[in-house]
Chains A and B, each alone.
Chain A
Amino acid sequence: MELAIEIKNLCKSYPGRMALDNVSFSVKKGSIHGFLGPNGAGKSTTMKILSGLIPETSGQYIVNGKVGFLPEHPPVYPNMSVYDYLKFVFSIYAGAVNEARIDEVMSKTGLTDVSSRLIGNLSKGYQQRVGIAQAIIHSPEIIILDEPTVGLDPVAIADIRALILELKKEHTVLFSSHQLHDVELLCSDITLINRGEIVVSGAIETILASLKTNMVLKARVQSFSKEQKNKLISTFGVDSIEVTQDLEQKNTLLKIATKGKADIRAELARHLVDPSIGLLEFMEERGDLEDLFKRMHE
């Protein structure tokens, strides 16, 4: 497998603080690689180093190809029109301006309709698109996006996601996020970083599978008695059931933790539909990033 980015023992220290501590991972060519971590974990620092903005303290990295970079805050000039801005970025990154390429990038990022508007007047979602357009305008092989979906509304997030998937056809994408959901939908590989140290790096299926030893299901039912609880435990062999009364909605919440990797959702749902219990809601509790980190430390 050809590598687009290879990082070996990368360290970055600021006075009195280690921002990155022996970070090593690699990004496969043509993949979408998710870079996950809580705030202040060192995601932005790594990305800034990869894009050549700040120097590393020690270690080395290889980036095979031109890099397009979208920083945390899209670097846009509010009193420039979208078209003029992209033309300017193109001219300082590539030298010769190719107007057909600007049109192509604008249609790809959905900016054609707003091409003559001032960037400062656009919504945050559109500004983010301008930021992505800026990163891909000079046809880089590798695109680094730093939290491209932060602060956007759900529709805009979905748009940006679709755009990132679209980019995969021609580019290698490394993008950071602190939302596991984003990453699950887009990435083939992920790297987790916490407090400047890599927690785990690899294919997303293997990482998620290794974490999901048991499943937590949440159900909302009309009523749930002690006998029913005991019956449920004995029939399905679940690990534990947590019963809480929701006084506001006058019904009961169940939190069921299953044992092992077997998928018992269908049977369990069938059981709960029983008129004496009265199933209202049934869902699998998704582990969020915080949960993931917590489990990793265990």
Chain B
Amino acid sequence: MIYTKKVMILARKELKDSFSSPLIYVLSGLFSLMMGWLFFNYLIQSTQMTTATMTQGVITPIFGNINFIFIFLCPLITMRSFAEEKKQYTLDLLLRSELSEMQIILGKFISNVAMVLFMLSLTLLFPLILSFSGYSDWGVVASSYMGIVLSIMAYTSVGLFCSSLTDNQIVASLLTFCILLGSMLMVISVNATNNYLLALIVQYTTIPFHYEGFTRGVLKSYSFVYFICYLVFFFLLTLKSLQSRKW
């Protein structure tokens, strides 16, 4: 109980910090503008499509886009986590405190995820609008949101790790972006091979493959296992990076 309380002290402070800076509002505005525009386009298109359902014509593509755009936005949110602390010399303040390194990582993780969720919450308007036209496939919407939340958590854990490596925020965000996009592009590069097994294995290691199931409303247990492993892996990397001062 005390453990989570201390994590929350840090998370609360981080959130207060972030919401008092303009970055989150600028990003949120940009994000909702892009998404709103795309949503509008898909909605117009779907009226001309007679064979596709609303889920196929609007929900699935819009969530695909949300996921893709967060690959660009998550690094911008997470870049400051450790890089700025290092630059301000405040990381030592945290490390010397009674918070353990893992508590610091979790506190930062929770606050960053909460910020991205705030941006995501702006898209709740879309299903609301659809509900006026009699849309009723809420299972897919719920599982898509679950998928996007899991992806965001994965992106954030990568962002935290990259931020802990450097004291330069731009380097941190670019590195995060490269790792995320690079792992996504791996799927395309395995298309070049005829080795079916290799393609399957590589595909399994990428986020979009697992995310895609969620957008179709299919919850697979191995996808949950994948996301949990992904988070734990990057938490451990971040932990090692924070402990590297003692090497």
| A residues with CB within 8 A of B | 51-55, 69, 71-80, 84, 88-89, 91-95, 134
| B residues with CB within 8 A of A | 2, 6, 9-10, 13, 16-17, 20-21, 88-90, 92-99, 245-246
State A92–B85 Cα separation when bound (angstroms): 16
Contact A92 B9 (CB under 8 A): yes
Chain B residues with CB under 8 Å of A84's CB are: 16
Given the interface contacts A53-B245, A55-B246, A79-B21, does A88 sit within 8 Å of B95 by beta carbon? no
Residue of B nearest to A94 (CB): B98
Contact A79 B17 (CB under 8 A): yes
Q: Is the interface of B mostly helix, strand, loop or mixed?
A: helix
State A93–B97 Cα separation when bound (angstroms): 5
Chain B residues with CB under 8 Å of A53's CB are: 92, 95-96, 245
Contact B90 A92 (CB under 8 A): no
Contact B96 A77 (CB under 8 A): no
Given the interface contacts A53-B245, A92-B98, does A75 sit within 8 Å of B9 by beta carbon? no
A134 to chain B, nearest CB (A): 7
Contact A89 B17 (CB under 8 A): no
State A77–B16 Cα separation when bound (angstroms): 12
Chain B residues with CB under 8 Å of A80's CB are: 13, 17
Given the interface contacts A79-B17, A79-B21, does A73 sit within 8 Å of B246 by beta carbon? no
Chain A residues with CB under 8 Å of B245's CB are: 53-54
State A248–B9 Cα separation when bound (angstroms): 64
Residue of B nearest to A73 (CB): B89
B82 to chain A, nearest CB (A): 14
A45 to chain B, nearest CB (A): 13
Contact A95 B96 (CB under 8 A): no
A134 in complex: contacting residue of B9, B16, B93, CB < 8 Å = B93
A55 to chain B, nearest CB (A): 5
State A94–B2 Cα separation when bound (angstroms): 12
The 7 closest A-B CB pairs, nearest first, are A75-B93, A92-B97, A73-B89, A75-B90, A75-B89, A91-B9, A55-B246
Residue of A nearest to B21 (CB): A79
Contact B88 A93 (CB under 8 A): no
Chain B residues with CB under 8 Å of A77's CB are: 17, 88, 90
B2 to chain A, nearest CB (A): 8
A55-B246, A77-B90, A80-B17 known; 20 other A-B pairs, CB under 8 Å? A51-B96, A53-B245, A54-B245, A54-B246, A71-B92, A73-B89, A74-B89, A75-B89, A75-B92, A76-B88, A79-B20, A79-B21, A80-B13, A84-B16, A88-B13, A92-B10, A92-B98, A93-B97, A95-B2, A134-B93
5 residue pairs from A and B, CB less than 8 Å apart: A51-B96, A53-B245, A71-B92, A79-B17, A89-B97
State A94–B98 Cα separation when bound (angstroms): 8
A190 to chain B, nearest CB (A): 26
A21 to chain B, nearest CB (A): 21
